[in-house]
Chains A and B, each alone.
Chain A
Amino acid sequence: MQDMNRREFMRVLGTTGAVSGMTALGIPTSVLAKASGKVIVVGGGFGGATCAQYLKRWGPDIDVTLIEKEAKYVTCPFSNVVLAGDMTIDQITHSYDGLKAKGIKVVTDEVTGVDAGAKKVTLKGGGTMSADMLVLSPGVKFIYDRVENDDKVEESMPHAWKAGPQTSLLRKQIMAMKDGGTVLILPPPKPFRCPPGPYERASLIANYFTKNKPKSKIIIVDSNESHSKQKSFHAAWKHIYGMGEGKMIHWVKETEGGKIEKLDPSNMTVTKEFGDTFKGDVINFIPYQKAAELVHQAGVTNKDGWCDVHQDTFESTVAKDVYVLGDACVAGAMPKSGHSANSQAKNCAAAIVTKLAGKEQPTPTYANTCYSYISPDFAISVAAVYGFKDGSIKKIAAGVTPPHPGEKDRFYKNEAKYAKGWYKSITEDMFG
C-alpha cells in the first residue's frame, strides 16, 4: 500500500528525484517514516470499532481490516432505555458504513480460530486472513454450571446482557406482565460487563412501572455485597421510587442468604444458597462472565479466564503483536465499560501506529465516563482519569455524582441531558 502510494506520487511528481532530494537536504529518513503494515481488528464494538478508526486516523497507510460477525452493531449502553420503552432498538443500532468510507475493510464474518503466533485468523465463512498485528476486542462470554439450570433459561429468564434480540425479548415480557407483578434482576458476581448496568435497569423498569403498572415491584437478588455507584443509586431510588422490602425497588445483597443456587424456570423461582426462594413474574438472569471464547482459543487468557496485557500498549503478555482490548482484558483500575474500551483502543492504536513507524509511543492516558439513568430525565454518573504507573493503569482522579440531595435537582437533570450527548459523541467516534 505504502509502496503503491509512493510510486504514484513519483509518477505525478514526474521524478524520482523528489525523495532523494529530501534526504539530500539532510532530513533524517525517520522524520518521513510512515506507519505501514497490516492490522486485523476482531470485534466491532466499543474497543474494536474505535481502534480501527484511530489506526486509520493516525496511520492512514496502514491496511486496517475489521472483522465483526454482525452486519450492524447494537450498543449495550442505552439498551436499558430501550428495555423500558423510552427508545427503540433502531435508535441504538449502528452500521459500519462510516468505517468503510474511511478505507477500513469491514468483513462481516465470525472468527472461529486464532493462531496468535502466525497472526492468522480462521473465518466461519471459509478461508483465513493474516496480518502483521492482531487486535482482539471480542467482549465477554457467558459461563454456565455456576447456578443450577443456568444454561437452560435464555428464553424463560432472558439476560439481555448482549443488546439485540435478548433486549427485545425481556422488554416484551415486562410489557406483558400484569400490574402487581414482580421482576427479579439477578446480577452475577463481579467482575462482569457494565458494573452499574443491573441497577440502571432496575431504575428504568421502575420508571415504566410508575407510569403504567404502579403496583408492581422489582427485587434485585444480588450475588455481590456492594455495587457500582451504590450510595447514589440508593438515594435516587428512595427519592423517586421508594426502596426497601415491600417498596418498588428492593435490593437483596449477597450476604443475605448467599449466592444464587438454583433457577427453576417451570415455577419461575430463584433459590439462594441458604434456602430463601424468590418468585418472579419476569426474571432477568445475568450469567457469570469471562473473556469471550475467541481469546481462550487464541491461548491468551490467564487462569481466571481474562487476558493479561501490557497495560500501556494492550499487547498480550503472552503473544507478541497480539493486542487485547475492552471487557476481555485486565486493565488495572479501569472498569469493564464501553467508554473504558474506547479509551483503551485509542492508546492501543497510538502504540501500534508508532511501533509501525519506528517512533516512540506517546505517554498513555485513559478515561472513563459512565452515566446511569434513574429515570429518562434524572441521571447519575461516574468518571475517572487514569495513568500508567509501575506497570499498570492507576486512578489519578475520579468521582461519582453525589447522592441526592447532595446537589440541586437541576444537577441530576443535566446529567440526563449530557448522557445523551455522550452517546451521540461516542457512537460518532466509533461509527462516524
Chain B
Amino acid sequence: MNLKRVAQTGVAAGVLGILLFSGAASAAEVSRGALLAAHCESCHGVGGKGATPNPGISGMDVADMVDIMKAFASKEESSTMMYRHAQGYTDEELKLMAEYLKGK
C-alpha cells in the first residue's frame, strides 16, 4: 500500500481514514472475480487495459461482456483464440469476471 507515502505527505486525516478503511478491507480479500479476471490479464494487459493488438476489456458493460463470451463459446461470434477460453467458464464465472473488469 502507498498509505505510508500518503501519510508522509500530510493529507487531511479525514481522507486518510477512508483510505485506511478501504485499503484494509481490500487487502484481506482476493475475490473469485479478481482471480478469474487475473487470468484475462495475461493476454489483455494489466487491469485488462489491452496489449496491442489484443483489445482492452476493462470497463465493459457486464451483460455485454457475458454475451460476447457466450457467443465466442458457441462460435456464433468468430474468434481465433477466444472460443477455446470462453468454453471453459460457467455463466456465473463469466459474470464475476465481467463485474471485476467493469470496475477497472
Contacts and interface: CB of A to CB of B under 8 A. Distances in A.
A346 interface: yes
Contact of B39 (A34, A346, A359, A428): A346
Contacts of A365: 32, 35-36, 39, 93
A42 to B, nearest CB: 22
A177 to B, nearest CB: 34
A384 B84 contact: yes
A174 B31 CA distance: 49
Contact of A354 (B30, B43, B81, B87): B30
* Residue among B16, B32, B52, B88 with max Cβ neighbours from chain A (10 Å): B88
Contact of A369 (B10, B24, B81): B81
A343 B1 contact: no
B88 A396 contact: yes
A20 to B, nearest CB: 14
Contacts of A31: 25, 28
Nearest to A46: B42
A363 B36 CA distance: 9
Interface string B1-16: 1011001001001001
A144 interface: no
A385 B89 contact: yes
Interface in A381-412: 381, 383-386, 396-399, 401, 411
Contact of A350 (B1, B16, B35): B35
Contact of A12 (B7, B51, B54, B88): B7
A13 B25 CA distance: 18
B35 A362 contact: yes
* Residue among A367, A396, A425 with max Cβ neighbours from chain B (10 Å): A425
Nearest to B51: A425
A362 B30 contact: yes
A418 B87 contact: no
B104 interface: no
Interface in B51-75: 51-54
Contacts of B84: 383-385, 397-399
Interface in A330-388: 339, 342-343, 346-347, 349-350, 353-354, 357, 359, 361-367, 369, 381, 383-386
Contacts of A61: 1, 27
A179 to B, nearest CB: 35
Contacts of A74: none
B81 to A, nearest CB: 6
Interface stretch (A52-60, A126-134, A224-232, A237-245): A52-60
Nearest to A401: B80
A11 B30 CA distance: 29
Contacts, number: 154
B69 to A, nearest CB: 12
A426 B43 CA distance: 6
Nearest to A36: B27
Contact of B30 (A350, A384, A414): A350
A384 B39 CA distance: 12
A266 interface: no
A369 B79 CA distance: 14
A432 interface: yes
A178 interface: no
Contacts of A349: 30
A246 interface: no
Contacts of B35: 346-347, 350, 362, 364-365
B23 interface: yes
A387 to B, nearest CB: 8
B13 A14 contact: yes
Interface in B16-56: 16-17, 20-21, 23-25, 27-32, 34-36, 38-39, 41-46, 51-54
Interface of A: 4-5, 8-9, 11-14, 18, 22, 30-35, 54, 58-61, 339, 342-343, 346-347, 349-350, 353-354, 357, 359, 361-367, 369, 381, 383-386, 396-399, 401, 411, 414-415, 417-418, 420-422, 424-426, 428-429, 432
6 contacts: A32-B25, A34-B28, A54-B38, A342-B42, A418-B81, A421-B54
For the complex of A and B, 4 pairs with smallest distance between CB atoms: A385-B88, A421-B54, A425-B51, A397-B88
Given A362-B30, A398-B88, 13 more contacts: A9-B3, A32-B24, A357-B29, A359-B28, A359-B30, A365-B35, A367-B88, A385-B87, A385-B88, A397-B88, A417-B53, A424-B54, A432-B46
